[in-house]
Amino acid sequence: MTGRRRWSTEEILDAAAELLRTGDADSFSVRKLAAVLGTDSSSLYRHFRSKTELLRAVADRILLAAMDGYRPEGDWKQRITALAMRVREAFAQHPQLAATWGRRASSGTGSRLVMEEMLQALRASGLPDAEIPARYHRIAVLIAALIASEAGVGTVTPEEREQGRELFRVAVLGADPERFPALAHFARDVRPLTADRRAAFEELLAAQLAHIEAAISPSRPTGTGGVDGPPRTDTHL
């Protein structure tokens, strides 16, 4: 009697990514994945201890793909912007996992590569080392929040999107000017949340980076590595 096939970790992650592509992270379960693979849940738990661990691993593969071929170019702001846009575009292909990435920390290689490059870029900015962790955290929170927000839009069907546009038009153009004077005044110029999201992403990130730049003392030349020594521009990917 032939035993059940043994699935490799990579094959399990491939199947999980495909299952998530056609569903969502909340309804995803190890049992459903096992059924797709024609095996039982216990065989998958030999690779991953929980659903959360499995989702983290799939999300980390997206980060790993985002970093594939990446080479740091330009100044520190250009590096962080390029990095953020690569991660944004990677999760745009897998919107079901974007919120998972924001909610569940990953410790995989992809996550470490993203963190390393961002921290290296911040060191190149001239910030003192003592300030870098907090600045990194703010940027990471902003990027994760924006990507998760976009993911919510990305999972909407065309029919739902059109319904949303119609509801927006009714809410804005039909606003009572006496009760909502500002809304009525700007009605023809206000745009729905689904519009120009890339531009909004770039502008919000640029504002955060400009805030960091303004905090750097003019007496500290950009590119210094702080009190610990010369600038670190090497990135080991």
Alpha helices in the chain (DSSP H): 9-21, 30-37, 41-44, 51-67, 76-92, 95-103, 109-124, 132-154, 158-173, 181-186, 197-215
Let me know how long the chain is: 237
pLDDT at 235 over 60: no
Structure tokens at 193: 């949340």
What CATH topology corresponds to 71-228? Tetracycline Repressor; domain 2 (1.10.357)
| pLDDT at position 236 | 34
Q: Which residue has the higher pLDDT, 184 or 27?
A: 184
The residue whose two tokens read 């519009």 is 195
Predicted confidence (pLDDT) per residue in 115-157, tens digit: 999 999 999 999 999 999 999 999 999 998 888 888 766 566 7
| pLDDT at position 228 | 41
Contact 97, 25 (CB under 8 A): yes
Instruction: Look at residues 202, 84, 102 and name the one whose alpha carbon lies nearest to residue 152.
Output: 102
pLDDT at 3 over 90: no
pTM over 0.75: yes
| pLDDT at position 131 | 95
